[in-house]
């Protein structure tokens, strides 16, 4: 090359490079705009994720992936996390957090535009946890999560108890070396006791609290300076006392209180043993007038009551709830509800709409694949001043609510076992203090039986799309609905 040519070429580089810099400055705003949105699951993975496993560094890669998934989590891109969950559990099946977090995403974080969860993924979430539990035998963590998800999200208290029980009696905690040497934390026992309460098995729950208290007393004795252990023990005392108080105030006359063969009115906070103390007595004429109104309201004879005499059980007499609802489709797939419910503010009614032949599926193995044609909507509305209900818009999420079936069940439910203690104070743990002229349904297959409120409509696709109104003629027998659901449901676990 002639030196002159070389010089010319070098000079030509100057304007070209200026052009490159100017272009870059113009491209930058576009790139910024581009990255504003969420991230892509696979393109965000660089070569180390692909080369790593080939070099036998599964755990390291799984860890890296999990860090990356965490970034997606903070960006709110839950969809991007799931493939990573699956990959991490494949690469490293002993990472408990991954199963737990993945199942949590599946069960909680997929929502429609009104923040209602996509409950079609709940069986997948459960199966993922079961897979994790099977891969990590002996560790309590995942079994505990199964118990929690069944309590909090699914409200299948029988299944929750099943897992908590396994957790408390059969599992251990892992120490720093990953060996199963530690007893399960005390909160496992607490949840076991709570789950028994949810099943209406109060005496068993009290036994669990006592057992827990005994264990904590021993722990405190071994290490008296550990305040967290003291705190745990104190909360167990409190819970034991509370449960006993609730049991007696709800179901017995004060005079009948007896714990361990001793007549009592409260619990000694230090020993956990019953002590004689203040009675639950009528203290004023106002108290008596309110109770008398209850009896007259339900048309029961009023027993004799006077100031200073013991109160009758809180759940007596039975409370008429006057539960009802009028569902109307005001637009295609937009349901408007006008409900009434004679109950204290804050009680929550569960609303469920699903394909007529939908049953909770029983998965044989974990899969993210769900039947996308299924329509399954579940919501809860709070009661305020005896009324409840608002619009439920299912028109904006055709993926979740495809309405492909011809017939649907529209179910309105109130379960006293899942409600707040102050409502249970009147209704009892299993609805003993509650009655309804129209929609009371007794789940007699449960032990003890549970009295719930349930109104079921069987509606058609045409009604969803407003070609016909929903009328009381569409009301479907609650017992028959329970029978249909139960037919296909898996049998509840033993105990």
Q: Does 32 bind other proteins (CB under 8 A)?
A: yes
Q: Does 31 bind other proteins (CB under 8 A)?
A: yes
CA dist list (Å): 395 to 114, 401, 487: 11, 8, 31
Q: Per CB under 8 A, which of residues 295..324 are in contact with other proteins? A: none
Are 281 and 311 in contact by the 8 Å Cβ rule? The answer is yes
Least separation in angstroms between CB 399 and other proteins = 7
How many chain residues are in contact with other proteins, going by CB under 8 A? Answer: 51
Beta bridge partners of 459: 408
Least separation in angstroms between CB 162 and other proteins = 26
Least separation in angstroms between CB 17 and other proteins = 6
Q: Does 12 bind other proteins (CB under 8 A)?
A: yes
* Among the residue ranges 142-150, 322-330, 363-371, 478-486, the one whose residues contact other proteins (CB under 8 A): 363-371
Q: Does 110 bind other proteins (CB under 8 A)?
A: yes
Helical ranges in 223-344 per DSSP H: 227-251, 285-297
Q: Does 87 bind other proteins (CB under 8 A)?
A: yes
> In terms of CB distance, is 53 or 83 closer to other proteins?
83
CA-closest candidate to residue 135, choices 99, 159, 87, 185: 99
Candidates 4, 74, 79, 104; binder of other proteins (CB under 8 A) is 79
Candidates 113, 367, 373, 387; binder of other proteins (CB under 8 A) is 367
Give the CA count within 13 Å in the CB-facing half-sphere of 410: 24
Candidates 121, 140, 144, 439; binder of other proteins (CB under 8 A) is 121
Q: DSSP for 167-210?
A: HHHH-BEE-TTS-EEEPPPHHHHHHHHHHHHHTT-HHHHHHHHH
Q: Does 36 bind other proteins (CB under 8 A)?
A: yes
Candidates 57, 180, 370, 475; binder of other proteins (CB under 8 A) is 370
Q: Could you give phi then psi for residue 355, rounded to 5 degrees?
A: -55, 145
Q: Per CB under 8 A, which of residues 379..438 are in contact with other proteins? A: 399
Q: Burial code of 350-376, b = ≥16 C-beta within 10 A, e = fewer?
A: bbbbbbeebebbeeeebeeebeeebbb
Q: Does 221 bind other proteins (CB under 8 A)?
A: no
Residues in the chain: 495
Q: Does 475 bind other proteins (CB under 8 A)?
A: no
In eight-state DSSP terms, residue 140 is S
* Among the residue ranges 116-124, 218-226, 326-334, 409-417, the one whose residues contact other proteins (CB under 8 A): 116-124
* Among the residue ranges 83-91, 157-165, 212-220, 347-355, the one whose residues contact other proteins (CB under 8 A): 83-91
- The Cα–Cα gap between 254 and 269 comes to 20
Torsion-angle region of residue 302: left (phi > 0), alpha (psi -120 to 50) or beta? beta
- The Cα–Cα gap between 445 and 439 comes to 18
Q: Residue numbers of the site for other proteins (CB under 8 A)?
A: 1, 6, 9-10, 12-13, 16-17, 19-21, 23-28, 30-43, 45-47, 50, 79-80, 82-83, 86-87, 106, 110, 118, 121, 124, 367-370, 399
């Amino acid at each position: 090359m002639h030196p002159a040519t070389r010089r010319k070429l070098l000079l030509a580089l100057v304007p070209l490079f200026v052009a490159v810099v100017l272009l870059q400055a113009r491209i930058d705003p576009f790139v910024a705009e581009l990255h504003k949105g969420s991230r892509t699951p696979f393109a965000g993975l660089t070569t180390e994720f692909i080369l790593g496993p080939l070099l036998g560094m599964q755990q390291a890669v799984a860890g890296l992936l999990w860090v990356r998934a965490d970034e997606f989590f903070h960006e709110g891109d839950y969809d991007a996390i799931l493939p990573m969950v699956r990959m991490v559990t494949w690469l490293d099946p002993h990472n408990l957090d991954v199963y737990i977090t993945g199942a949590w995403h599946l069960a909680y974080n997929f929502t429609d535009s009104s923040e209602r969860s996509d409950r079609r993924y709940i069986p997948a979430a459960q199966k993922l946890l079961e897979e994790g539990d099977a891969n990590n035998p002996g560790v309590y963590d995942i079994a505990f999560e199964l118990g929690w998800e069944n309590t909090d999200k699914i409200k299948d208290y029988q299944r929750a108890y099943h897992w908590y029980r396994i957790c408390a009696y059969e599992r251990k905690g892992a120490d720093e070396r990953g060996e199963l040497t530690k007893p399960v934390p005390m909160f496992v026992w607490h949840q076991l006791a709570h789950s028994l309460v949810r099943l209406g098995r109060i005496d068993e729950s009290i036994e669990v609290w006592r057992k827990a208290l005994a264990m904590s007393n021993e722990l405190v004795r071994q290490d008296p300076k550990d305040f967290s252990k003291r705190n745990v023990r104190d909360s167990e005392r409190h819970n034991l006392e509370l449960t006993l108080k609730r049991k007696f105030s709800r179901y017995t006359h004060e005079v009948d209180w007896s714990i361990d063969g001793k007549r009592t009115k409260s619990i000694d906070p230090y020993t956990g043993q019953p002590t004689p103390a203040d009675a639950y007595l009528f203290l004023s004429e106002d108290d008596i007038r309110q109770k008398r109104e209850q009896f007259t309201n339900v048309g029961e004879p009023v027993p004799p009551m006077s100031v200073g005499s013991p109160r009758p059980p809180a759940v007596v007499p039975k409370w008429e709830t006057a539960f009802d609802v009028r569902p109307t489709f005001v637009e295609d797939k937009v349901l408007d509800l006008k409900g009434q419910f004679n109950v204290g503010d804050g009680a929550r009614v569960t609303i469920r709409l699903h394909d007529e032949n939908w049953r909770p599926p029983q998965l044989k193995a974990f899969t993210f694949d769900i039947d996308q044609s299924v329509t399954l909507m579940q919501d809860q509305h709070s009661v305020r001043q005896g009324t409840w209900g608002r619009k439920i818009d299912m028109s904006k999420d055709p993926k979740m609510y495809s309405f492909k079936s011809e017939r649907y069940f529209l179910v309105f439910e109130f379960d006293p076992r899942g409600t707040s203690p102050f409502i249970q104070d009147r209704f009892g743990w299993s609805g003993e203090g509650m009655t309804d002229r129209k929609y009371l349904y007794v789940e007699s297959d449960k032990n003890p039986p549970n009295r719930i409120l349930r109104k079921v409509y069987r509606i058609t696709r045409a009604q969803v799309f407003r070609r016909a109104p929903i009328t009381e003629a569409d009301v479907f027998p609650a017992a028959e609905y329970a029978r249909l659901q139960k037919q296909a449901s898996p049998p509840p676990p033993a105990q």
